Structure 1
Amino acid sequence: MGKVKTAVYICVFILVWAQLVLPLIPGYAQNIKLQDFSLYNTAWNGCFMLRIELTRNGYDVRPLLSSLSILSRAEGTTVVILAPSSFINPLEAIQLADFVRKGGGLLIADDFGTGNIFTMLLFYSLGLPSPQFWNAPLLGSYTGGVSTWTYTPAVTEFNTSHPIFKDVRQIILNWPTALWNVPPENQAAALSPAFIDMNRNGQMDPLELLPSATVVAVYDLESMGFEVGGQNVSYGKGRIVVVSDPSIFNNDMLLRGDNLRFAINIIDWLSRRNEGGESNLVVFDEAHLAAPYYYSYGKLFGSILGYIDWASANWFLAPIYPALIVFSIWRWLPRGKPKEMGPTAVYLKRGKTFLTERLEWYKENKQYGYALKLLYRRMKRHLVRRFKLKEYSVDAAVRVLSDVVTAMRRTQLKRFLEEWEAIERGEKPIYMNSETFLNHFFVMKKIMEAVMVEKRG
């Protein structure tokens, strides 16, 4: 078996059996609970409490461990992406945009992660200006003045007519950032006054003060259409909420101020619950959360499923994906070696022997070292018969061949024979590529041709 196939088989074996063995290790399957913003993390930095509250309000809350491409099968669902820290596949972004365009709801909350990549790819796919996160701490005032600042400010300026702020008087933030490039009609909540601490020194420097810092943006695509030449142009039917602080949704901050009411209102609005919405499914994207210092079972399993989901949900690959899997398995599965048998009448007619069958099998499976080993054994037997050697040895072979193979020097002959002998005895690795095999094959062919010419002479 060649090196490449051996490596492939080992990787496949590990990946397949890891899914079955790892959950049996005490505590390993529970490691996902330690991830920031995980639905199953009961510590202060998890979202376990949010999951419980949403379930209590009648929602079916599920995690997504694989690829956002799977959303093509869940139209009308509400998706929550909190503090993404890994990059999104551009093809996933296209699927996400298509999901929103068809009526899906989406909440993206980030501060210092990769949220800008998500919003940029998503909004550009929708044809809208992309809101961006500053990725620097936003400090708010304690008293409304500019003398005292805090990393946990309270937001009290809302678009009170919007449903997501129903019964909400204040939202408590925790180390937030701010949004920019948000059109005025999409700005829903702001912190004022505030400043962006670009150099992170905790002090307000010149040009860092913001009269009003947007922290919540809302997009109702259905109401954002416009007319061109009498034709109505629509961005889609979905809804998007962008929040510049994911911490307000974790276990520590959820019960502070009116954060819980705000979170429930967002999901209600995105899912159109109060407007006759039919889907109560809320999907939390855990595939793009920050990876822990270990590689958890959920992360490993989700990574594998991500490729499968992406390929099976892709409109181009989905029809041919099963055929690709079958072909890959057929291509890489080892073929059985031909059984040793005497040449039948059919084989004699075809001029085919067991030796040629074995050589063809080695060639087809790229096991060139074994093919060279087989040819060398055949050459040894021929030399013993031709020169009537009592016992084969490299020195004896060099002695009789040096007068026959005049095109090669004695030292060159000995070097090749010693190398072949080492391969034949298993003292040297037999793995080689086709080019190396052909070099050895042509040298062996030159020796045998010289022997045959000498015999006829």
Structure 2
Amino acid sequence: MAVDYPRVVLAGFAVVVTLGLLVAGSTSGGAFGSYNPAWDGTSEFRSLAADDAEELSIGQNTSVYDPADAEGTLAVILSPAEQYSERERRSIRRFVEAGGTLLVAEDVGPNGNRLLRSVGAQTRFDGASLRDERRYENGPALPVATAVGLDNDSVETIVLNHGTAVRAAGTTDTGAPNETMRAVRATNATVLAASSPYAYLDRNGNEELDDDETVARYPVATAERVGEGRVIAVSDPSVFINAMLERGDNRAFSHALLAGSDTVVLDVSHAGSLPPLQALVLSLRGSALLQAVVGTALLGVLAGHVALLDAVSALRRRFGSDDPARPPRDRAAIVRGVTARHPEWDAERVERVTQAIMERRAEGDGND
């Protein structure tokens, strides 16, 4: 059998294009994106959350912060790119006060501190880059912190990537050693992880320790009570990206934060747009009305397709095929065609072949 190479190439091209559209429609390239499988995405953290929690929810808006379901729910916000509105902040605060746990990870952006302030937390992200000239991984900008307040023996070190420190509201690095640690503890916040005693906040960004910059231990992850709930502040969202989960005990640290939650909500409402296919799937899951509309539309398309096929088959049976390449249907014409192609055959053989062709045509009509 001869291979129709143009058709094969066209089919292969169609498959490649289809797969490309599916990948593009179901993944994103945004930093910290839950559906970004690249080094700066958090697709692996999303998988961890799905494994550790009984239920995983992707929050496209703040309607996921239902105070009635707050207890046993952990909501995660990684470096929000946009500011939450006043109404949205009130919704999140009610969720925390009703017993929910809110995890906010931020480094230099302003929206993390605005959110902490609005929910009633007393801790803030400093914003200056935390560096460590002695205890680091692949450079001082990747300081190695130590877990100090986690009830989990599998977590010893946490590696940051251009992160900052957590401080008490209204305080700055005053120059007194470990003043930041004491100020944070004074807010009744628990320090979950802290830098080594050789870290400093590089306030002028020159990547050097200056005379007015203090070497001390700095909190990098804290937890504090707010109402009936908790607010966890992590001073580097990069801890949770795909490329950093294998550094130190970052993966175990993620497990420790996720553990014990019945429901984990990944709030992506202010983290850029979702991939279109994922957004569609999530919208379908969250709306019974939309499910009914789409289901009805699909049934209508299917019914219309079946009706069209029936109509075409009826027309073909009534008027015959208009395909000029199809051989004639009457016996005499088939006999003439078979005889013309095989003049050496006797009449009996021509009759057998003619009968077989007629029967095959009859079966084909029955399958239309």
Range class of TM-score, shorter chain? 0.5 to 0.7
Which of residues 157, 171, 187 in structure 2 aligns to 1:170?
157
Q: 1:149 to 1:44 in 2, by over 3 A?
A: closer
Q: Letter of the aligned partner of 1:133 in structure 2? A: F
Q: Deviations over 1:286-315 (max 9, x none)?
A: 111146xxx96489989x99xxx9xxxxxx
Partner of 2:55: 60
SS of corresponding position for 1:30: helix
Offset, 1:90: 1.4
Offset, 1:150: 0.4
Q: Letter of the aligned partner of 2:105 in structure 1? A: A
Partner of 1:212: 217
Q: Which has the larger radius of gyration?
A: 1
Offset, 1:243: 0.5
Equivalent pair of 1:69/1:95 in contact (CA under 8 Å): no
Tell me the distance in 2 between the aligned counterparts of 1:66 and 1:255. Answer: 31
Q: Deviations over 1:316-355 (max 9, x none)?
A: xxxxxxxxxxxxxxxxxxxxxxxxxxxxxxxxxxxxxxxx
Offset, 1:166: 3.2
Tell me the distance in 2 between the aligned counterparts of 1:97 and 1:248. Answer: 25
Q: 1:53 to 1:188 in 2, by over 3 A?
A: closer
Partner of 2:319: none
The answer to whether structure 1 residue 263 and structure 2 residue 254 are counterparts is: yes
The answer to whether structure 1 residue 112 and structure 2 residue 111 are counterparts is: no
Tell me the distance in 2 between the aligned counterparts of 1:40 and 1:201. Answer: 35
SS of corresponding position for 1:156: strand
Partner of 1:137: 129
Q: Letter of the aligned partner of 1:151 in structure 2? A: A
Q: 1:265 to 1:300 in 2, by over 3 A?
A: closer
Q: 1:298 to 1:136 in 2, by over 3 A?
A: farther
The answer to whether structure 1 residue 151 and structure 2 residue 136 are counterparts is: no
**46-55 or 80-89: bigger deviation:** 46-55
Which of residues 117, 122, 130 in structure 1 aligns to 2:119?
122
Q: How does 1:174-193 map to 2 (within 5 A)?
A: 174-181=161-168, 183-184=184-185, 185-186=188-189, 187-191=191-195, 192-193=197-198
Equivalent pair of 1:155/1:170 in contact (CA under 8 Å): yes
Offset, 1:72: 3.9
Equivalent pair of 1:166/1:265 in contact (CA under 8 Å): no
Count of matched residue positions in the alignment of Structure 1 and Structure 2: 247
Offset, 1:68: 5.2
SS of corresponding position for 1:34: coil
SS of corresponding position for 2:93: helix
Partner of 1:98: 94
Q: How does 1:15-414 map to 2 (within 5 A)?
A: 26=21, 30=25, 33-67=28-62, 70-72=65-67, 74-76=69-71, 77-113=73-109, 114-123=111-120, 128-129=121-122, 131-143=123-135, 150-156=140-146, 158-159=148-149, 162-163=150-151, 165-181=152-168, 183-184=184-185, 185-186=188-189, 187-191=191-195, 192-221=197-226, 236-268=227-259, 271=261, 280-290=262-272, 297=276
Root-mean-square deviation over aligned CA pairs: 3.3
Equivalent pair of 1:36/1:46 in contact (CA under 8 Å): yes
Equivalent pair of 2:76/2:104 in contact (CA under 8 Å): yes
Higher helix share: 1
Equivalent pair of 2:134/2:198 in contact (CA under 8 Å): no
Q: Letter of the aligned partner of 1:74 in structure 2? A: D
SS of corresponding position for 2:115: helix
Tell me the distance in 2 between the aligned counterparts of 1:149 and 1:252. Answer: 16
Partner of 2:362: none
SS of corresponding position for 1:217: strand
Q: Letter of the aligned partner of 1:252 in structure 2? A: A
Q: Deviations over 1:100-134 (max 9, x none)?
A: 111111111111222111111111xxxx53x1112
Q: Letter of the aligned partner of 1:190 in structure 2? A: A
Offset, 1:31: 6.7
Tell me the distance in 2 between the aligned counterparts of 1:158 and 1:106. Answer: 20
SS of corresponding position for 1:118: helix
Equivalent pair of 2:126/2:166 in contact (CA under 8 Å): yes
Offset, 1:284: 0.5
Q: Letter of the aligned partner of 1:286 in structure 2? A: V
Q: 1:58 to 1:121 in 2, by over 3 A?
A: closer
Q: Letter of the aligned partner of 2:158 in structure 1? A: I
Q: 1:215 to 1:284 in 2, by over 3 A?
A: same
What TM-score comes out, normalization by structure 2 length?
A: 0.59
Q: Letter of the aligned partner of 2:42 in structure 1? A: C
The percentage of counterpart residues that share the same residue type is: 28
Tell me the distance in 1 between the aligned counterparts of 2:46 and 2:24. Answer: 19
